[in-house]
Amino acid sequence: MSSTPPDMGSPEKTPTDWRGDAMQRRIRRRYRSERRFKLIGLAAVMMSAGFLVFLLATMLSNGIGGFSRTEIKLPIDFPKAGLTLDASRLAGPGADMALAGAGIQGATDGAAIAAFGKDGDQLISDGAWLTVRSAVKADPALLRGRATIAVPASDAIDIAAKGEGSNEDKAQVAKLKAAGVLTTGFNLSFLQGADSTDPTMVGIWGALKGSIFTMIVTLVLAFPVGVFAALYLEEYAPRNRWTDLIEVSINNLAAVPSIIFGLLGLAVFLNTFHLPRSAAIVGGLTLALMTMPVIVIAGRNAIKGVPPSIRDAALGIGASPVQVVFHHVLPLALPGILTGTIIGMARALGETAPLLMIGMRAFIASPPERLSDPATVLPVQIFLWSDQVNRGFVEKTSAAIIVLLVFLLAMNGVAIYLRNKFETRW
């Protein structure tokens, strides 16, 4: 220490003691802070994973019942049921007409009363006769004798059979079980039907089909428009005040609350262009407006990420600007664009508010056949069912949520597959 040159004006500098206590403390403090940081990060991940598991578990345990239904084996003596039905007409195209006027509903209720006593018709679902009708349509030979057809049980019996509901209903269930007429079947009609006032008869297919139609319209409009807008802004547009303005507008558009887009859709597509109310095409148009800015922003970032040297290389051997974009820039930017599209589409799929504004909250009892047919979508259907007082809708709501999540996962799965397919390793 005394060897320090005396001519230094600063206070005497002691050699750094790398093994001293202060240094050791500093090292320990550093390790502690690293450990703390790691723990906080891990806790954050665990917490989100925990929420996700909780959500999925709750939905599954609540909703799995929605995919099964309680059925009652109903014996029907067709010749004695008093059907006004001409069996010969069941073969031709007039079958539906013939069945409609046949009085099957009365016959079904009658059979239930005959089989299970005075209140027998209360045990079966209001829509049980529909099952009978399809059975007869499928096999007209049934009409010639006695047949046993498994029909859906009433809402109260269904709930009681699944372990809830009133004691009276549970007693009924016990009685039916003892008689051996109660079975549990896979609720195919839930996957095939549409909305209904009777929870035993509701189906999700109507809303699922509506969602599929709406998503197709959204994708077909938002993806190309978004990608071309991004390409133009990045590759062609001169940088000036106008393009700055457009950029700011697009960024703001992406942040606009979704219900505002609903009002826009209402004002533009319904009131100005007079497109059909609550149709998938209007829903798709409205959601496309909402999704497009997300795709533009993600697309621009992805295009910016393509190294300029690739553009130079292509231009340098005489590729035209369009060839540069479509042979080189777009394929390299596609994974990033697809990521943005996944985010935008997932958001559009889960959107309820703007669709309420354009009338997609109507009660739609049959799946849409065309884009212009009245339709509803999964999240709106979930919203509507969650609002129902009837106890039977609870598990249907959860079941619909499961369908929505499966649809979402399928959509994301396709997008991730495509993204990996196009991903280039540098």
Q: Applying CB under 8 A, which residues contact other proteins?
A: 238-239, 307, 309-320, 323, 327-328, 332, 424-426
Tell me which DSSP letter residue 15 carries.
Answer: P
CA angle 378, 380, 384 (to 5 degrees): 115
In angstroms, give the least distance from the CB of 243 to other proteins: 12
CA-to-CA distance for 359 and 240, rounded, in angstroms?
A: 41
Query: Looking at beta carbons only, is 118 or 425 nearer to other proteins?
Result: 425
Query: Looking at beta carbons only, is 277 or 311 nearer to other proteins?
Result: 311
Query: Looking at beta carbons only, is 310 or 346 nearer to other proteins?
Result: 310
Query: Looking at beta carbons only, is 243 or 372 nearer to other proteins?
Result: 243
In angstroms, give the least distance from the CB of 223 to other proteins: 23
Q: What string of DSSP letters covers 171-223?
A: HHHHHHHHHT-EEEEE-HHHHH----SSTTT--SHHHHHHHHHHHHHHHHHHH
In angstroms, give the least distance from the CB of 305 to other proteins: 13
In angstroms, give the least distance from the CB of 250 to other proteins: 21
Residue located via tokens 């390299």: 332
In angstroms, give the least distance from the CB of 22 to other proteins: 46
Nearest to 132 by CA among 118, 147, 122, 120: 147
Query: Looking at beta carbons only, is 14 or 309 nearer to other proteins?
Result: 309
CA-to-CA distance for 279 and 273, rounded, in angstroms?
A: 13
Residue located via tokens 């929420």: 51
CA-to-CA distance for 98 and 162, rounded, in angstroms?
A: 37
146-152 and 68-77: which strand pairing?
antiparallel
CA-to-CA distance for 422 and 322, rounded, in angstroms?
A: 20
Contact 75, 147 (CB under 8 A): yes
In angstroms, give the least distance from the CB of 339 to other proteins: 18
User: Residue 278 — left, alpha, or beta (φ > 0 → left; ψ -120 to 50 → alpha)?
Assistant: left
In angstroms, give the least distance from the CB of 332 to other proteins: 7
CA-to-CA distance for 415 and 34, rounded, in angstroms?
A: 37
In angstroms, give the least distance from the CB of 221 to other proteins: 31
Query: Looking at beta carbons only, is 327 or 391 nearer to other proteins?
Result: 327
Q: Which amino acid is at 401?
A: I
List, in sequence order, every beta strand (DSSP E) within 85-190: 146-152, 182-186
Query: Looking at beta carbons only, is 83 or 325 nearer to other proteins?
Result: 325
10 Å Cβ neighbour count for 8? 9
Query: Looking at beta carbons only, is 18 or 426 nearer to other proteins?
Result: 426
